[in-house]
Amino acid sequence: MLKAVVFDDEYIVLQGLKMMIDWSRYGIELAGTASDGLEALRLFKEVQPDIVLTDIRMPGLDGLEVIEKIMDEAPGTVCIVFSGFNEVEYLKKAIKLGVIDYLEKPVTLSMVEEVLTKTIKKINEQKRMEKLQVEWEGTKMDRLEKATLDLLLTGSNAEEKWRQEFGPNVDRIKAVTILALSDECTFTPNQPDYELVYIRNGHERLIAVFHYTENPEELIQQLISWPGNITIGSGRTYSEITSAPRSYGDAQHALRYGLFMEESGWIRFEDIGENTRLPRQLSQYEKNIIFNMRTGDEAGLLSELEQFIRELESQKLNPDVLESEVLKLIYLAQEVAKETGEDIHQLKEGGYFPQQDIRAIQTKEQLFHWLYAQMNLIMQWILRIRTSEKQGAVERACSYMESRFDQDITLQEVAEYVGMNSTYFSLLFKEKVGKSYIKYLTHIRMERAKELLLAGGKVAEVSERVGYRSYRHFSELFRKHTSVNPGQYKERST
């Protein structure tokens, strides 16, 4: 039910409107009356009515002042005024303030009933429009989410539709970055520097960040200082919108690395690099199998292998195609085995040549049994190599990082220096050192930064000298590492 109040300094008017109008007939509760402006404002704040009927002239505070204060506090309030014959100028001011109707005194019962009928109709129409607006905004966000997901999946093929859904700010966009999240989270609402689009793609939680500036400092600050216990994989930032699928792939890669290494917070693709030895276009089953081989998860490998075989069986492939698919998977497994740096042909005496062995297989059942055996053989070989890996590779990597911490070095670069695949190296590094490559590099940089600050170095110069080109990036990481900002830490040297 709507609430209304009546303000008038004439007792007879207040009593007449109170007693003679059947307010409930219009779905209205008369919540109170007041005979002066100050009392009127107090009552308004207490009741918060939907409709205000007020005289223009009242003691204490006139009706115009009351209306002005009401419209400042609650602009959606419907105001109706009573005016005298010679109050034209007052009436004009009232209309400018947002009054929707007026009644000329003396006010009659029929006049009030007529204006209430019009007011109720107007309020209902306004509510209907507000509901439609809410529904429109909801569907608009749904459409934008779908259009953005299509952009991530198909790039230029979805660009035109995405531009239509993004709206008038689309031409302001300078770059795009995709984030992949391990769990639900909400960042600060859109800033002047960027706009966020939240996306769900099956089990994936994604955020597309569209930058309005070329330097995404505000976003970086949020990611570094994110307090939650979630992992955020961030892809590279691309100036071309049609490169969004590349940033999406980067973000997936970074998130997967972070989850496996049990790293929470911000994981940048730029800090990791990518392994380009394997083909990019793999089925999800193949990706999962390779991932389990790299991480040494035997149970996971067998489970994914079973699903892969069921998928092959369901497709009813002819023998030649089936053989090709099996050999492809074994080839991928061999590539993972090569990441150890050892010769895969040592797997069997006389060399390992599965493309020759497969020719002796006669039936589909034999083929799948052979596939199981080969994948298990390769997995066990990888595990043996890993357990016998020498400490020397990690020590060389640490020395390399300590001598080049002031440069833009990536996990991929360090892994190549010690002759290993990046994924394999990251596992070995954490096992031997007790922390991930990213945390170790950050630790080296922060410790050196503390020394330089205590020696009197300027914050901006220290940032450059420890490998951070962005002053804000350095400051946020330093604060997260030491619980104080660089300036506060520097004061300890004085």
Point out the domain boundary residue: 84, 107, 130. 107
CATH of the domain at 425: 1.10.10.60
Instruction: Average the pLDDT over 323-333 and give the result.
Output: 87
Res 96: pLDDT: 79
Q: Is the pLDDT of residue 414 over 70?
A: yes
Do 267 and 153 fall into the same domain?
yes
Domain assignment of residue 115, yes or no: no
Q: Is the pLDDT of residue 39 over 80?
A: yes
Res 390: pLDDT: 55
Domain assignment of residue 125, yes or no: no
Domain assignment of residue 418, yes or no: yes
Domain assignment of residue 30, yes or no: yes
- Per-residue pLDDT band at 228 (split at 50, 70, 90): low
Q: What span, in angstroms and rounded, lies between the C-alpha atoms of 24 and 1?
A: 9
Res 151: pLDDT: 92
Res 106: pLDDT: 82
Q: pLDDT higher for 89 or 307?
A: 307
Do 354 and 425 fall into the same domain?
no
Q: What span, in angstroms and rounded, lies between the C-alpha atoms of 147 and 158?
A: 7
Q: Is the pLDDT of residue 278 over 50?
A: no
Do 264 and 155 fall into the same domain?
yes
Least confident stretch, 92-106, 371-385, 436-450: 92-106
Segment of 254-268, 373-387, 434-448 carrying the highest mean pLDDT: 434-448
Do 167 and 268 fall into the same domain?
yes
Do 307 and 372 fall into the same domain?
yes
Percent of the chain's residues with pLDDT above 70: 90
Q: pLDDT higher for 103 or 251?
A: 251
Domain assignment of residue 130, yes or no: no
Q: Is the pLDDT of residue 408 over 70?
A: yes
Do 181 and 219 fall into the same domain?
yes
Instruction: Average the pLDDT over 6-25 and give the result.
Output: 88
- Per-residue pLDDT band at 49 (split at 50, 70, 90): very high
- Per-residue pLDDT band at 366 (split at 50, 70, 90): confident
- Per-residue pLDDT band at 474 (split at 50, 70, 90): confident
Domain assignment of residue 121, yes or no: no
Res 353: pLDDT: 84
Do 223 and 290 fall into the same domain?
no
Do 193 and 306 fall into the same domain?
no
Point out the domain boundary residue: 350, 369, 387. 387
Question: Could you list the residue range(s) of the whole structural domain that residue 341 is in?
Answer: 284-387
Q: Is the pLDDT of residue 311 over 50?
A: yes
Res 276: pLDDT: 43
How many other CB atoms are there within 10 angstroms of residue 402's CB atom?
12
Question: Is 481:446 a contact under the CB 8 Å cutoff?
Answer: yes
Q: Is the pLDDT of residue 359 over 70?
A: yes
> In total, how many domains does the chain have?
4
- Per-residue pLDDT band at 128 (split at 50, 70, 90): confident
Do 362 and 315 fall into the same domain?
yes
| Average model confidence (pLDDT) across the chain | 83
Do 472 and 369 fall into the same domain?
no
Q: Is the pLDDT of residue 138 over 70?
A: no
Domain assignment of residue 462, yes or no: yes
Res 135: pLDDT: 59
Q: Is the pLDDT of residue 284 over 90?
A: no
Q: pLDDT higher for 58 or 420?
A: 58
Q: pLDDT higher for 39 or 297?
A: 39
CATH of the domain at 91: 3.40.50.2300
Domain assignment of residue 116, yes or no: no
Instruction: Average the pLDDT over 95-119 and give the result.
Output: 83
Q: pLDDT higher for 466 or 264?
A: 466
Point out the domain boundary residue: 219, 246, 272. 272
Q: Is the pLDDT of residue 84 over 90?
A: no
pLDDT tens profile 421-452: 777 788 778 878 888 888 899 999 999 999 89
Do 268 and 160 fall into the same domain?
yes
Do 455 and 469 fall into the same domain?
yes
Least confident stretch, 201-205, 317-321, 367-371: 317-321
0.75 surpassed by pTM: no
